[in-house]
Structure 1
Amino acid sequence: MRNASEERLVWCEDGTGARIYLAVLYSLMCALGTPVNLLVIYLALSFKKLRTSSNAFIVNGCVADLLVCAFWMPHEVVLVSRIVPMATGHHTFKEALLFTGIVVSLLSHSLIALNRYVLITKVPATYLSVYQRRNTGGMISVAWLLPLLFLLPWLAVRQVTPVGCLPLRGPYSSRASSYGAGVLSTTILVQTTIVLYCYFRIFRKVKSSVKRVSVLNFQIVNNLPYGFHRKDKRLGFSMLAVCGVFLLTTGPFFWVCLLGLFRTMPPAAHTVTWLVFSTLFVLNPLLYTWKNEEFRKALKSTVRGSSAVVSVEPPVVVVQAVSRHGSATT
């Protein structure tokens, strides 16, 4: 019966077509994810009125996604393209970078959902007190500190055995592999729970009033008669799209990691679910900005080379409008 190292080498020798396919996919995701994440970061930092607490969490997620798209994926393309073991120290650093990027990215989604939940469902004073600049910076710092703390036990149980080119996410030893899978499974579960809870509570809050608030960009839609069901369905679709992307990309990988703690999973299951999960790092910036009018205006201004100021409605105005209307309805 082959051990893990032998299985890696056999897969590398017999799976030339699969390795080429993986290298192409990683190259495409790197080519798409890197510029998109960089663009969102550039826009948020370049336009003063885009520097809000909500956008700070989006930028934090984009930085974490860059660790995967811009730094990890190019190394993985080289690794799966040839049957050459990677130096132990370099591989450990690469896997640690990947682990950190994944956990920070997932935590950023939770922070974005919580921010929007407080912004739309609570009174303005609560939002302003919770999301002061100092508190926002502290939340982002914790989002990076936790993965670094999680790395310490992973490094302690990690063996120093060179690996082949199997693109299986995980450390060398069974103990480290179980630990990494457990951390990722727990993080995905917590993140999915927070995202679903926050967005559905937002949707219920907004649906109870005549005015509608977009959960993607906090814009208040004009007062509409209840007969216009198309607008209501469009808002519901936007909210469900956010939740659906998370469930479709993280769900399969979550179950493979969870089941892998108790039984040996086929390498193909690891690889396929991981590739689906990796698309999340490319979709993240688009998910939060594709319907955001402020980001689109900033992008047009950048493309045209204009120095015009982007008009952004402060989130507090939206909160006040929602709160006033909520008070009136109650």
Structure 2
Amino acid sequence: MAANRTGGQQSLALLNITSPNDPFCEYLDDTIEVQNSLYWKHKGSGTTNQMIAFYALVCSFGSLANLFVICCVLRLPHLRNLRNYFIVNLAVSDLLMCTVTAPATLYLTLNLFWPFGDFTCQLVACIQAVNTFVSCLTLVAIAMDRFLLMLFPTKWGFQPTMAPLGFYAVVWVLSLCVAAPYFFAVSAEDVSFWRWNHTEIERALLACERQKPQICVENSWSHLPFSRKTYTLTVLGFQYLMPLAALALSYCHIGTRIRRRLRTGAASRTLDTQRRQAMTNKNRKAFLLLTGLVFVYAVCWLPVNLYNTLNVLDFFHFSQYKYIYCHLVGMTSACLNPVLYGVLNENFRVAFATLIRPCRRCCRCPAADTTQSQFHSNYNYSYTTAANTRSPKNCGLTPMAPMDDAHANVTQRLCAAANGAIISPALPAPTRAAIAQEYEDDML
């Protein structure tokens, strides 16, 4: 076998290489393959398969969940507002994390060599950082938008389109600027271990039409005006500490307002018991959701940031095996964000029911048509009774939007149930503050 040749025999073989299929060329291929996966073969195939399975699960679920959020906004016009585009921006960055960042990190972990060239190495490293920063800063933008809406409901809630667009621009520009050093600090370098630098091996690679293996590494910090330690600590503050503080402060203020609202609602005598209980439950769920947002962010991004910081401060040597698990925990945020910001949002749940209704009809499953009526009941400010003249289709009410057959059927059932109802006084038209308050509730 070529692998058992002595150094002299190998040198002699170099002179006799006549084609890329020469046995010595196969020997080089075997050497590259063994060196490329030696680390994870040492850990065992079970560990490798386990890691691949975890990443596949996270990336698959995260991609589907974020695609669901994006499709809901793109397909349903009533969700196309500027503040829902914050959630779309978050979903896009998380989708890129699941489709670009996570697979690239997994590949770099399981393979020692990088066969895609220097520019691709730099570009992938930069994109990985940009995706992470955009995701984190978008969470901050959502929190700040809700905070300002809570403070100034009659002003911030009706801002022109430039205000949220300014948030988008700041998020992407800042992310690109902070991630730019990665592009210059990372490069694909030729390997220098074993005998890859020997003249005979270089001649053999040329005769075998092979290229010397390269590694994508961070070895170019000397060309930058700051050190790797300075940059890592800056990223810790920019990507973890600052967003965590912004989330905590914003949602603490909103949570304080919700708790005050809970006490006010419990003490109010003007509301009937059912409405008071419904308001209390809604505010309590909103408070728990806000607490969960801060907790999930803190837990997901703590391991990888803590590991990078301790490593750059020389508390221990870098271990790809330990880092990959820390990174996996951070990637779970791309799965949880669409759930917390999209799926748990009532408007998105109704949108999801609307999107899957054709599929359910094809399966002859009972459709959740009752959810459709929620789209048209936000600002219905007058009550009617059986004494009023009603058309058979809409009880004499003018619908706020064209009704499809399913909505018409629901309305007919509601009309039938309303027969004999007690006459309620007409409500006045809502004020600007009332509309802002309801919009604020929807944002929670």
Secondary structure in 2 aligned to 1:160?
Answer: strand
Q: Deviations over 1:242-274 (max 9, x none)?
A: 111111111222222222231135524422221
Secondary structure in 1 aligned to 2:313?
Answer: coil
The worse-fitting range, judged by mean Cα deviation, of 55-64 and 11-20 is: 11-20
Runs of 5+ in structure 1 lacking a partner?
1-6, 164-169, 213-220, 324-330
Distance of aligned partners of 1:136 and 1:322 in 2 relative to their CA distance in 1, 3 Å threshold? closer
Give the match for residue 155 of structure 1: 183
Q: Deviations over 1:190-232 (max 9, x none)?
A: 11111111111001012212349xxxxxxxx943499x7x776
- Paired letter, 2:243: Q
Give, in whole Å, the separation in 1 of the partners of 2:48 and 2:306.
24
Give the match for residue 294 of structure 1: 347
Q: What are the equivalent positions in structure 2 for 1:163-312 lying under 5 Å apart?
A: 171-173=217-219, 175=221, 178=229, 181-186=232-237, 187-209=239-261, 210-211=264-265, 222-224=275-277, 234-263=285-314, 264-267=316-319, 268-305=321-358, 311=375
Give, in whole Å, the separation in 2 of the partners of 1:126 and 1:91.
43
Return the match for 2:152 from 122, 134, 139: 122
Q: What are the equivalent positions in structure 2 for 1:75-114 lying under 5 Å apart?
A: 75-80=104-109, 84-87=113-116, 88-114=118-144
Question: Does the CA-based 8 Å contact 1:22-1:80 persist in structure 2?
Answer: no
Task: Give the TM-score normalised by the residue count of structure 1.
Answer: 0.78
The worse-fitting range, judged by mean Cα deviation, of 139-148 and 95-104 is: 139-148
Distance of aligned partners of 1:211 and 1:266 in 2 relative to their CA distance in 1, 3 Å threshold? farther
CA drift of 1:93 comes to 2.0
Secondary structure in 1 aligned to 2:137?
Answer: helix
Name whichever structure is richer in helix by fraction.
1
Q: Deviations over 1:90-122 (max 9, x none)?
A: 232222211110000000000011111112232
Distance of aligned partners of 1:150 and 1:321 in 2 relative to their CA distance in 1, 3 Å threshold? closer
- 1:24 equivalent to 2:15? Answer no
How many corresponding residue pairs?
A: 299
Give, in whole Å, the separation in 1 of the partners of 2:433 and 2:76.
18
Secondary structure in 1 aligned to 2:175?
Answer: helix
- Paired letter, 1:70: T
Give, in whole Å, the separation in 2 of the partners of 1:202 and 1:134.
24
Give, in whole Å, the separation in 2 of the partners of 1:322 and 1:137.
19
Distance of aligned partners of 1:49 and 1:84 in 2 relative to their CA distance in 1, 3 Å threshold? same
Give, in whole Å, the separation in 2 of the partners of 1:19 and 1:243.
32
Q: Deviations over 1:147-184 (max 9, x none)?
A: 22223333233343268xxxxxx952283754663343
CA drift of 1:16 comes to 3.9
- Paired letter, 1:172: E
Return the match for 2:436 from 311, 319, 324: 319
- Paired letter, 1:104: V
Secondary structure in 2 aligned to 1:161?
Answer: strand
Question: Does the CA-based 8 Å contact 2:121-2:188 persist in structure 1?
Answer: no
CA drift of 1:22 comes to 1.9
Give, in whole Å, the separation in 1 of the partners of 2:126 and 2:373.
40
Give the match for residue 42 of structure 1: 71
Give the match for residue 417 of structure 2: none
Give, in whole Å, the separation in 1 of the partners of 2:330 and 2:65.
17
Give, in whole Å, the separation in 2 of the partners of 1:287 and 1:249.
14
Give, in whole Å, the separation in 2 of the partners of 1:153 and 1:80.
21
- Paired letter, 1:191: P
Give, in whole Å, the separation in 2 of the partners of 1:44 and 1:211.
33
- Paired letter, 1:236: F
Question: Does the CA-based 8 Å contact 1:36-1:282 persist in structure 2?
Answer: yes
- 1:144 equivalent to 2:195? Answer no
Give, in whole Å, the separation in 1 of the partners of 2:190 and 2:175.
24
Give, in whole Å, the separation in 1 of the partners of 2:113 and 2:217.
17
- Paired letter, 1:22: M
- Paired letter, 1:143: V
Give, in whole Å, the separation in 2 of the partners of 1:171 and 1:282.
28
Give, in whole Å, the separation in 1 of the partners of 2:72 and 2:177.
31
The worse-fitting range, judged by mean Cα deviation, of 306-315 and 140-149 is: 306-315
Runs of 5+ in structure 2 lacking a partner?
1-34, 192-215, 222-226, 267-273, 360-368, 380-431
Task: Give the TM-score normalised by the residue count of structure 2.
Answer: 0.59
Q: Quick check: which has more Rg, 1 or 2?
A: 2
Give, in whole Å, the separation in 2 of the partners of 1:162 and 1:48.
53
